[in-house]
Amino acid sequence: MVLCYNLICTMEEAPFFDINAKSFRALFDQYYQPLCESLNYYTRDAQAIEEIIQDVFVTLWEERNQLHIQHVKTYLFTSARNKALNYLRDRKRRMAMLESWAIDAMSLNQSKEVMDPDELSAYLQQAVDALPPKCREIFNLSRKEQLTYAEIAAHLHISVKTVEAQMSIALRKIREKMQALGFKR
Domain ranges of the chain: 2-88, 107-180
pTM for this one? 0.47
Architecture of the 2-88 domain: Orthogonal Bundle (1.10)
Which CATH number does 107-180 carry? 1.10.10.10
B/e letters for 25-58, b = 16+ CB within 10 Å, e = fewer, are: eebbeebbeebeebbeebbebeebbebbbeebbe
Q: CB under 8 Å to 85, separation ≥6 — which residues?
A: 42
Which tens digits make up the pLDDT trace of 134-165?
999 998 898 888 889 999 999 999 999 999 99
| Helix %, strand %, coil % of the chain (to 5) | 70, 5, 30
Of 98 and 134, the structure prediction assigns the larger pLDDT to 134
CA distance 89 to 53: 17
